[in-house]
């Protein structure tokens, strides 16, 4: 029996990187074993994910070890940092999608780091202002000029980091740039061509894959996505999923205020005064309405 980490998933097959065993002469080479999960996983509803720690015997995954967390988009487990790549050029980031991803990370033990990429085309000052003042780590980047790459690389050092964001926003390009900086020149992910891709919804990255950069830094690249319908955040967790909203909630007139239409709502007052960004509050409201709808239809 060996233990390892899933570094790649392709249609039901998993590449497992075996933990290093210094005393074992066989540990030379790539140390990656191509595995299939045990048949019983399907019956139990267990889907192994990139980032999972597993035990294997031969080429069979025997057990998925307990997870810190699991994500649907991107499909990864055990991410300590969720790197949300956004842009105000091509493609323009939908702030509702971004806020949903952030809210999910916040309630699932992953630290959100926001990268505003393609600043050589669009500086995206407003996006930067909104997310900085909400209290997030925000890095302004450009793979073309190299801006922000060293800063981001330092912020992600030593952690398991999954990259999320729309197709074409530059996730693979950024991972290449960080890998280059770290001297891991063998990592060269293929990068899309925006002009031929847009409109056809093509993804350049098709497989979810984990790259080790040394110093325990792991970066996970995955296909981009523009929709988040399948991400569910229960309404009782929503307030805490918005870190700049949570501190106001104690000051509302009603203890169970949901900050929608209630009178004397400290959250809505903070939105009026500009202390909470309108776009962030709009995302909160939309997620709250979705959560309440789900709750009302639970037994139907």
Ligand X SMILES: Nc1nc2c(ncn2[C@@H]2O[C@H](COP(=O)(O)OP(=O)(O)OP(=O)(O)O)[C@@H](O)[C@H]2O)c(=O)[nH]1
- Distances from the Cα of 231 to the Cα of 102, 153, 164, 203, angstroms: 11, 28, 13, 20
Q: Which residues contact 58 (CB under 8 A, 6 or more apart)?
A: none
Under the criterion CB under 6 A, does residue 249 sit at the interface with ligand X?
Answer: no
Could you tell me the smallest distance in angstroms from the CB atom of residue 173 to Mg ion? Answer: 8
Could you tell me the smallest distance in angstroms from the CB atom of residue 8 to ligand X? Answer: 15
User: What is the 8-class DSSP label of residue 250?
Assistant: G
* Calpha distance 56→154 (Å, rounded): 33
Stretches 49-57, 100-108, 156-164, 199-207: which one binds Mg ion (CB under 5 A)? Answer: 199-207
Stretches 50-58, 164-172, 268-276, 289-297: which one binds ligand X (CB under 6 A)? Answer: 164-172
Pairing of strands 2-10, 13-18: antiparallel
CB 239 within 8 A of CB 246: yes
Could you tell me the smallest distance in angstroms from the CB atom of residue 68 to ligand X? Answer: 24
Q: Which residues contact 190 (CB under 8 A, 6 or more apart)?
A: 172, 204, 205
Could you tell me the smallest distance in angstroms from the CB atom of residue 253 to Zn ion? Answer: 8
Burial 118-143 (b: 16+ CB within 10 A, else e): bbeeeebeebbebbeebebbbbbbbb
Segment 237 to 256, residues that bind Zn ion, using CB under 5 A: 252
Under the criterion CB under 6 A, does residue 203 sit at the interface with ligand X?
Answer: yes
- Nearer to Zn ion by Cβ, of 59 and 272: the residue is 272
Under the criterion CB under 5 A, does residue 204 sit at the interface with Mg ion?
Answer: yes
Contact of residue 257 among Mg ion, ligand X, Zn ion, none (CB under 5-8 Å per partner type): Zn ion
The binding track of 114-133 with respect to ligand X, each residue x by CB under 6 A or -, is ---xx-xx------------
Question: What region, left, alpha or beta, does residue 202 occupy, with left being phi > 0 and alpha being psi -120 to 50 degrees?
Answer: beta
Q: Which residues contact 268 (CB under 8 A, 6 or more apart)?
A: 259, 281
Q: Which two tokens stand for residue 259?
A: 């900050």
- Nearer to ligand X by Cβ, of 208 and 249: the residue is 208
Under the criterion CB under 6 A, does residue 294 sit at the interface with ligand X?
Answer: no
Q: Please tell me whether residue 86 adopts helix, strand or coil conformation.
A: strand
Contact of residue 267 among Zn ion, Mg ion, ligand X, none (CB under 5-8 Å per partner type): Zn ion
Name the nearest CA neighbour of 130 among 5, 265, 283.
283
- Nearer to ligand X by Cβ, of 37 and 170: the residue is 170
Could you tell me the smallest distance in angstroms from the CB atom of residue 12 to ligand X? Answer: 21
Under the criterion CB under 6 A, does residue 191 sit at the interface with ligand X?
Answer: yes
Neighbours of 237 (CB within 10 A): 14
Number of residues that bind Zn ion (CB under 5 A): 5
Under the criterion CB under 5 A, does residue 265 sit at the interface with Zn ion?
Answer: yes
Could you tell me the smallest distance in angstroms from the CB atom of residue 52 to Zn ion? Answer: 39
Interface contacts to Zn ion, rule CB under 5 A: 252, 257, 259, 265, 267
Interface contacts to ligand X, rule CB under 6 A: 117-118, 120-121, 142-144, 165, 167-173, 191-194, 203-205, 223-224
């Amino acid at each position: 029996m060996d233990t390892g980490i899933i570094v790649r998933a392709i249609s039901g097959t998993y590449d497992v990187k075996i933990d290093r065993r210094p005393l074992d002469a066989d540990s030379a080479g790539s140390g990656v074993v191509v595995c299939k999960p045990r048949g019983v996983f399907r019956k139990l509803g267990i889907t192994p994910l990139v980032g999972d720690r597993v035990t294997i015997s031969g080429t069979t995954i025997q057990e998925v070890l307990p997870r810190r967390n699991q994500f649907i988009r991107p499909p990864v487990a055990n991410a300590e940092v969720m790197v949300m790549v956004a842009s105000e050029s091509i493609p323009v980031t939908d702030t509702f999608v971004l806020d949903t991803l952030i809210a999910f990370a916040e309630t699932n033990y992953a630290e959100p780091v926001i990268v505003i990429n393609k600043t050589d085309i669009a500086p995206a000052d407003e996006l930067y202002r909104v997310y900085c003042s909400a209290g997030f780590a925000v890095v302004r980047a450009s793979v073309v000029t190299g801006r922000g790459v060293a800063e981001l690389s330092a912020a992600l050092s030593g952690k398991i980091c999954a990259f999320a964001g729309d197709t074409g926003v530059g996730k693979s390009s950024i991972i290449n740039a960080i890998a280059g900086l770290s001297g891991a020149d063998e990592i060269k992910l293929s990068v899309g061509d925006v002009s031929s891709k847009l409109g056809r919804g093509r993804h350049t990255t098709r497989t979810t894959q984990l790259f080790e950069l040394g110093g325990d830094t792991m970066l996970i690249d995955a296909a981009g996505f523009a929709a988040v319908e399948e991400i569910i955040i229960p309404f009782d967790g929503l307030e805490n999923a918005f870190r700049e909203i949570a501190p106001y909630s104690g000051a509302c007139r009603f203890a169970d205020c949901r900050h929608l239409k209630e009178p004397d709502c400290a959250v809505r007052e903070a939105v009026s005064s500009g202390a909470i960004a309108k776009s962030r509050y709009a995302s909160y409201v939309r997620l709250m309405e979705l959560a309440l709808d789900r709750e009302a239809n639970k037994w139907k």
